[in-house]
Amino acid sequence: MKRIIQCLTLCLLLTTIGFAGKAQFRKIPEDVTEAFRKKFPNATKVSWKDKLSSFQASFEMDDEEYIAYFASSGDWQETDQKMEYEDLPDDVQDGFEKSKYTDWEKGDIYMIVKADDENLLSYRIAVKKNAIQKKYLFFANDGTLLRDAITL
């Protein structure tokens, strides 16, 4: 009986920690929400996440999915637009096909627009080889693989 109580207590503790880890502890600053409204006035289905060093808004606009990142000051940092592989520029598709990841399974794909140079686009392709080997591949508009990063 003592063992069952210990097990139930441990399960309750782990569940509480799990929910607390997903809770948002800070309120989204008014500067951030105002900057978002100005930049994306037609956004719908907006949801916010606190990323500690920034705030992330997921939303829809013109039937497309987006993620925008804002600093705590309200400064826009980046916007990622979800897209299909077939919609990538030919150079990016060619770059992916010539990479060592061509046989990995493709996941979500985003076009990235950064605040420091809105004319310089890049693309992020999530790939996985198995349940353990997962990466983000970042490509320049000309198809050059800029870097790969391990995902969690």
Query: Could you tell me the domains of the chain?
Result: 27-150 (3.10.450.360)
pLDDT at residue 5 above 50? Answer: no
Amino acid (one-letter) located at 61: M
Write out the two tokens for 18.
Answer: 């799990």
| Burial degree of 110 (CB within 10 A; 0-12, 13-18, 19+) | buried
Looking at residue 3, what is its pLDDT? 59
Q: What is the pTM of this model?
A: 0.79
pLDDT at residue 6 above 90? Answer: no
pLDDT digits (tens, 9 = 90+) for 79-115: 999 999 999 999 999 999 999 999 999 999 999 999 9
Question: Token match 């000309």: residue?
Answer: 142
pLDDT at residue 15 above 80? Answer: no
Looking at residue 119, what is its pLDDT? 86
pLDDT digits (tens, 9 = 90+) for 29-51: 999 999 999 999 999 999 999 99
Rounded Cα distance between 52 and 38, Å, is 23
